[in-house]
Amino acid sequence: MNIVVLDKYAANPGDIPTDELEALGNCTFHDFTEPEEVVERLKDADAALTNKVCITAEIMDRLPRLRYIGVQATGYNVIDIDAAHKRNITVTNVPAYSTDSVAQITFAHLLNVCNAVGHYAQDIKQGAWTEKRCFCYWDTPLIELAGRQLGIIGYGNIGKKVAEIAKAFGMIVAHASARKNATIENDATALDELLATSDIVSLHCPASKDTMGFVNAEFIAKMKQGAILINTARGQLINEGDVAEALHSGKLAAYCTDTLVHEPALPDNPLLAAPNAFITPHNAWATLAARKRLLHTVAENLKAFKEGKPQNAV
């Protein structure tokens, strides 16, 4: 079996051995692949592995040998799934490998807003504390999480893990679906009620036709004055201009995100100039432990396919 990895660098810049995958066939690794290079690189491939490189119906039509596409991620919107099914190409993904890591960065962002540890650490290195008369000082609000309400939108594996951590902090937890006209069940809250009552709103829902850009001015207007908004899900959920305006006006106290609509960030992204916008470079999933789980499952998915028993097929 000829196996081609189109964008190895994202999940494995060189710190994880590739022997588990190489045991399954003749492997060719590319750190990055441009759209115009995909067909040439996959022309002799039986199996393609991709993270963010798109494989469209048009590309599949030019690759009659291709029988398998392994997405090295949970989201598989980079693949035309209908086209793959029509061409008898199996597509797999890797669910739930990053749950703990994404929940962790959700609270890294929240604690950064509440305690400003980075700000004070840098301030002190620059001599700010040595100039004070009192033994302590603070120049930002210091927020205790106990008793605050965290509203979680999207209650899958990550949303539930975030809820578990929040309860350990003594927080009140509510959750709601992002889907329009969703049935309210399993202790869920209506979305409008969640927005009106939550001190912090954290997004953990997929990007879909119902949720693309749904966090807009109308959505934000329903939130509490001075609420904190966290997005460790998908940048496409957000109208970034509306969020930036809410930060400038003070309607939102902070926006914490690990993902943007366009990645890497565009120089004119309005969030880059907005106050209290805390942005990390889509690396919530990228702890060493999570990436090892990811790549192990990628290899296991391909092995199962070779044995005629596909797993994690989408």
Positions marked active-site? 234, 263, 282
Q: Phi first, then psi: what are they for 163, rounded to 5°? A: -60, -40
Tokens (6 digits) for 220: 């934000």
Q: How far is CA 221 from CA 7, 148, 251, in A?
A: 40, 20, 8
Residue 8 near residue 30, CB atoms below 8 Å: yes
> How many angstroms separate the CA atoms of 199 and 148, rounded?
6
Q: Which of 264, 15, 239 is nearest to 255 (CA)?
A: 239
Helix 99-115 / helix 157-168 crossing angle, nearest 10 deg: 40
Q: Which of 104, 66, 96, 100 is nearest to 83 (CA)?
A: 66
